[in-house]
Amino acid sequence: MKRIEQIAAVFTFIGILMKLLLIPGGAIVLGISLTVLATIYYPIGFFYFNSIPKGKIFKKESYAGLTFTRGLGTFGGGLIFSILAIGSLFKLLQLPGAAAMLTIGLTAGSLFFIVTLIKYFMNRVSSFHRNMLVRTILIVGLSGILVATPSLTLVKIFFRDNPEYINAYQLANQNPNDQDLRRKAEEAREKGNN
């Protein structure tokens, strides 16, 4: 599973580069890689973070050394990482709902970071706490960068070859209740994609 996580992370980076270089298919690569990461982190994150092999999920002895707080932490961490992965995908693809997901994920992720950092300093020999701390720093840090980056900046970067859409996007954001401007912005985006 660790190899799949690493490959998905590499493909996420490749997808971002493709979007930055205006190479077609970057959105598809991002969609697949970040969805794979979200799936690893949430539904199966508890088992993955606690190193429980898939063949022993239903065996009682697999959970012998697992404390309640560690189980709760890995479940919560997986959920937070999953929310941040999907929120990042939405932000990079300019989809609605990105701000809410990233805000919720970053708030919970910041608290998770503090708890993980404390646990790490209390038990430095634990590779589990070190791995969770590194993963938290990377995911929460990169998501924080995305939140700090205005959507207009991303539009100007990813659609620099479509100035009509950039202007329409700016107008639509200045007048958020004007549905006609939103429609025109979407039409300009679609026209630029063809």
Residue-level pLDDT, tens digit, the chain, 194 residues: 789 999 999 999 999 999 999 999 999 999 999 999 999 999 888 888 888 887 888 787 777 878 888 888 889 999 999 999 999 999 999 888 999 999 999 999 999 999 989 988 887 777 888 888 999 999 999 999 999 999 999 999 999 988 999 999 999 888 888 888 888 888 888 887 65
* Angle (nearest 5°) at CA 25 between 30 and 16: 40
Report, in angstroms and rounded to the nearest whole number, the Rg of the chain calculated over CA atoms: 20
CB-side neighbour CA atoms (13 Å) of 142: 19
Rounded Cα distance, 48 and 52, in Å: 6
| pTM higher than 0.75 | yes
Q: How far is CA 138 from CA 74, 135, 185, in A?
A: 16, 5, 34
* Closest CA relative to residue 37, chosen from 57, 16, 7: 7
